[in-house]
Amino acid sequence: MHAGDLGQTALSKGDTVSALERGIAVLRCFSRTDRVLSNTELSERTGIPKPTVTRLAATLVSLGLLRQNAATESFELAAGVVSMAQAFLSGLDVRARARPHMQTLADLTGGTVLLAVRDGLEMVLIEVSRPRMSMISSTLDVGSRVPLPNSALGRAYLAGVDERERAQLIETLHLSRGSEWPRLLPGLDSALAEAGRCGYAGSFGEWHREIGSLATPIQGPNGEVMALNCGGPAFAFNAEKLHGEVAKPLLATAASIAQDIGGSLPLSQSLQRRNP
């Protein structure tokens, strides 16, 4: 089963359609770095038998969501996914409202600023702002994904949801990560505790050893939780700079975005109690 499937806690297994789940698992195999995949690679990544992958891929090709290279027989995403992505992104008015605030934060700190929502056990970027004067540019872009347990974005999201959802997601992460989980859990616990004290969660080379960043959750007007991140290369964005120079403007930017979209900051009440 694909990791993203495990994260869909809203539906019980009996409510889902396995063929649809498998088709989506195939689509989720593709990324910026894995644009072309063979039938064998799709089978290995999803755990779905090759004959079934062949049928699923053929169906996705017929729907215009995949296309097949006649020479290599490998698959890649087709234009059909673009219209769906555009429909999703066009409905996120938060992107337009957040963009100027994000750009101001990027220029002020010299860091890359990211806005993300959860998809399964990952955070997917929906908006990116880079500092205008920086010579160093992040490779992350809209549509990039980062993991929940060890990225600042994922940790901030987990800190921002209610206790029940957080517990469900952490248990699912435990099951999906297996033997890797004991290494991930201490950092996650520490970040969640930090979020409760400070209103933000950090990742200091834990997701990617060359990246340091802080993130904070924002709740939209309909209760949806997203996360705002600011950071950059670890040599320039170490823990001292992040806490001393990035944290305060990050929280102020999140507050401005929340005000503009009619949302709120999930951790603000906790902070007010700690800092009357």
Domain match, 38 and 117 both: no
C-beta of residue 101 within 8 angstroms of C-beta of residue 257: yes
Q: pTM for this one?
A: 0.70
Strands, DSSP E only, in the chain? 66-68, 75-77, 112-119, 122-129, 145-147, 201-204, 211-219, 225-233
Task: Give me the tens of pLDDT residue by residue for the chain, a chain 276 residues long.
Answer: 344 444 444 444 455 578 888 998 999 898 877 889 999 999 999 999 999 999 999 999 999 999 998 888 899 988 888 777 766 666 667 888 999 999 999 999 999 999 999 999 999 999 999 998 765 666 788 889 999 999 999 999 999 999 999 999 999 999 999 999 999 999 999 999 999 999 999 999 888 888 999 999 999 888 899 999 999 998 889 999 999 999 999 999 999 999 998 889 998 755 554 554
Residue after which a domain boundary falls, among 82, 110, 137: 82
131 found inside a domain: yes
Count of domains forming the chain: 2
Domain match, 41 and 129 both: no
Domain match, 35 and 168 both: no
- Residue 133: CATH number of its domain: 3.30.450.40
Domain match, 74 and 97 both: no
The residue segments making up the domain with residue 50 are 18-82
Domain match, 51 and 156 both: no
